[in-house]
Structure 1
Amino acid sequence: MNPRRSFLRLATVAVIGLTLVGCTTVGALLGNDVTFTAAQLQHSLNRNFPKHYDKLGGLVSLTLMNPRLSIPPNSNRLRVDFDVGLGALGSDSSQPTGRFALTSALRFDPTTHGLHLQDPVIENVDVPALGGVMNASSRALLNSWLGDYARQEPVYRFDNSLLDKLGARRIGTTQIENGVVVVHLDQ
């Protein structure tokens, strides 16, 4: 067989193969779902913590650090464990003095292009400096933070390349299924 003809056939097969791979990627992207793993969400959280909050003119401070995100088996909610530092009357809150955990569903917010906590619930609190339990002021501080965070801060923000690939497709519901976050796309 002619070497030039063999080269042309090989080049043609390679171009067709690359075209098919491109179509497969586009077809997969234009499916009805976009999925995110716990590791992807964890990476996003790592970039956004620690967070420091002062309340009552700095008399009380709260620092949340070291978020650890997981999706428990057979659950439709994710879990996030945090180390928490509490300070009062100007004392330092940058070191962990306890921890707490929350569970939550997720929702997509078109304003931030992000996945936000939806219906978060504080599951567990362990702050030894407070006798291992929360008092009313620390519970109010955590609940205040949690409400603000759920409204304003995404757990994960869609990047521009993903938004460009989605084009005019609308984001539908967001669910946690089989250990991953599934964002359903409307037609």
Structure 2
Amino acid sequence: MRQRLTELTGVGARASTPDTHVPAQRARAGASAPTQKRSLVRAAIELLLQQPALALELRPPYRFAALRQNGIELLTEIVDLVVSRPDINTGALIEHFAEREEAKALQKLAAGSFVGDEQIITRYFLGTMSQLELQAVEQRQAEIADKLRELGPSSLGADERAEIARLLQDARALRSQIAGYSGPAL
């Protein structure tokens, strides 16, 4: 049984006898596998699945919803669901998506865990959401910059010029907000 646990988890492989080691080929494959960094969208979804009430900390309009990135539609849907049903729990959230292709991935994310007290987790979530909002602002800035390059400065109307100023101000505010949320990594 110990050998099987060692094969499955790799725990105890070094300290065990040669007949219980994880096969060298598997050990090397595992050692060379790159560690995958958690995306901001995935981290936000994972936190919401584990603590749905975090969505109630967000204030509409949700600027992150305009971001063109995998998972944003799902994140927005989860936030909207929690806001419409503030008492929803993890099980009910998972059940809501049971018939969809995302169901297994959501179950897996819900089973994960973040280390820290409620205040640290809330700060981490809000920092993550601020980073997503900053990405949305930067995305819009890039769209306007592309238009400027393509059509020239005279192509911008007064509304777009005002939007540029607002986006620059918003980006500064979000960067300051993100700096305020930074703390111990989870």
Q: Same fold (TM over 0.5)?
A: no
**Structure with the higher fraction of residues in helix conformation:** 2
Which has more radius of gyration? 1
TM-score by length of 1: 0.29
TM-score by length of 2: 0.29
